[in-house]
Amino acid sequence: MSEAKKLYIKTYGCQMNVYDSERMAEAMGGAGYVETDTPDDADMILLNTCHIREKAAEKVYSELGRFKGLKDAKPDLKIGVAGCVAQAEGEEIMRRQPMVDLVVGPQSYHNLPALEAKARGGDKALDTQFPLDDKFETLRKRGGKAKRGPTAFLTVQEGCDKFCAFCVVPYTRGAEVSRPVSRIVDEAKELVERGVRELTLLGQNVNAYHGEGPDGNDWSLAQLIWELDKVDGLERIRFTTSHPNDMSDDLIAAHGECAKLMPYLHLPVQSGSDRILKRMNRSHTAESYIRLIERIRAARPDILLSGDFIVGFPEETEADFADTMALIEEVRYGYAYSFKYSTRPGTPAAERAQLDEEVKTERLHRLQALITEQQRAIQDAMVGREVGVLFEKAGRRDGQMVGKSDYLHAVHVSDSTVQSGDLRRVEIIESGANSLGGRVLPA
């Protein structure tokens, strides 16, 4: 048998890209490839890209430039671009960077082995279709059985029908599609058999999930979560990313009732100004968001909230920005991701008058200072509390193990009885720069 070829994948962007990269690596395993963690000895390099902001998209081209030397030294090396830039720019990528052999959009990953064969044969391979066949099932059947770490992502829903005025996702990932419940449960069971104990259900609008249930009706995300709750050996369930308008009553209730559902919710609001929210086409107000948070906290008082914010959206005034800061003050976030508005080709907001870069930068700094303060306070308040921790790997220091708390804080302990995959009760004893320190409690 010939020696296995080596595949190097570099992943940018969101967690769905991480999930997709794993699936692509498994599919290419069937085509005789093993993964390598350096591009230097690869037979194929695949960039799984993100198009969400200008910087993310431009990174692809600078990264490709870096591979030129490798390609010159090894003409057999195949270079592929996958992900949202591939979907958005398609053939243009090969025009701008002729050394690219293969371009594959997110809906065509199950065709990757065939595309690779085409590229190997010396032709350019391009697939950015939205086919009707079931990508997920084809990929799952090609999936490996290798042992996994204790945590995994599982895509349950893909695409978005919301069309926020700033966002490329509805164009790069296409319309909302939900996978059937039984397929997700099967995949969850396979992952548990491979060592997984915590699943994060993924979707661009995961709480809009409406997959076919075993009874033939459309099931909600909450119904799916309750079905996964029955899977033995699965200890923790999370989901991301949610939209405020799809936070249904049964999902809110599940946060109070389902023990496996972790007390953490990522619920982006983007802005605290109703004027800006309207221009963003968000179809919710600051007030409706705050009322929603109140209902979620009534169901699960200790829930930790995280959010996404965009500053410097077209026409954002100082008063609009003050509304965003006021909303943050009111909600109090355990984590938040904040971005300067970035114009994206083909989206409605890109056509509007833009704010000065300095104004955006200055607002971003103020917002991040406030978020950091809240994050710090919430993390520090964990000291003295008892939390569940799922341990994932050895820490930097000798004898140290690190894992994530129920609230997704990184926690480290020095305890030789703890192994990767253990879920233990831990008393938090200190709060450091980026993680908490704890003491494992007797079982």
Question: Which residues of this protein are in contact with ligand SAH, per CB under 6 A?
Answer: 52-53, 166-167, 169, 204-205, 241, 243, 268, 270, 308, 310, 339, 341-342, 344
Between CA 198 and CA 347 the distance in angstroms is 36
For residue 273, the partner it binds in ligand SF4, ligand F3S, ligand SAH, none, with Cβ less than 5 to 8 A by kind, is: none
Between CA 227 and CA 259 the distance in angstroms is 13
Chosen residue from 5, 78, 173, 238 binding ligand F3S by CB under 6 A = 173
Chosen residue from 42, 93, 164, 382 binding ligand SF4 by CB under 6 A = 164
Residue 313 DSSP one-character state: -
**For residues 300 and 344, which CB has a smaller minimum distance to ligand SAH in the complex?**
344
For residue 163, the partner it binds in ligand SF4, ligand F3S, ligand SAH, none, with Cβ less than 5 to 8 A by kind, is: ligand SF4
For residue 53, the partner it binds in ligand SAH, ligand F3S, ligand SF4, none, with Cβ less than 5 to 8 A by kind, is: ligand SAH
Chosen residue from 11, 49, 178, 205 binding ligand SF4 by CB under 6 A = 205
Stretches 45-53, 384-392, 396-404, 429-437: which one binds ligand F3S (CB under 6 A)?
A: 45-53
Q: Is 373 exposed, middle or buried (0-12, 13-18, 19+ CB in 10 A)?
A: exposed
Between CA 435 and CA 441 the distance in angstroms is 18
Question: Per CB under 6 A, does 51 bind ligand F3S?
Answer: yes
The distance of Cα 1 from the centroid of its chain, to the nearest Å, equals: 38
**For residues 176 and 320, which CB has a smaller minimum distance to ligand F3S in the complex?**
176
User: Which token pair is 217?
Assistant: 């009706």
Between CA 254 and CA 240 the distance in angstroms is 15
C-alpha torsion 237→242→247→248, nearest 10: -60
The owner of tokens 């070829």 is: 5
**For residues 54 and 133, which CB has a smaller minimum distance to ligand F3S in the complex?**
54
Chosen residue from 6, 8, 9, 17 binding ligand F3S by CB under 6 A = 17
Question: Per CB under 6 A, does 106 bind ligand SF4?
Answer: no
The DSSP line for 229-295 is HTSTT--EEEEE---GGG--HHHHHHHHH-TTB-SEEE---B-S-HHHHHHTT----HHHHHHHHHH
Nearest to residue 56, comparing CAs of 83, 22, 20? 83
Stretches 129-137, 162-170, 329-337, 366-374: which one binds ligand SF4 (CB under 6 A)?
A: 162-170
Question: Per CB under 6 A, does 162 bind ligand SF4?
Answer: yes
**For residues 84 and 262, which CB has a smaller minimum distance to ligand F3S in the complex?**
84
Residue 379 DSSP one-character state: H
Residue ranges binding ligand SF4 (CB under 6 A): 160, 162-164, 167, 169-170, 204-205, 243
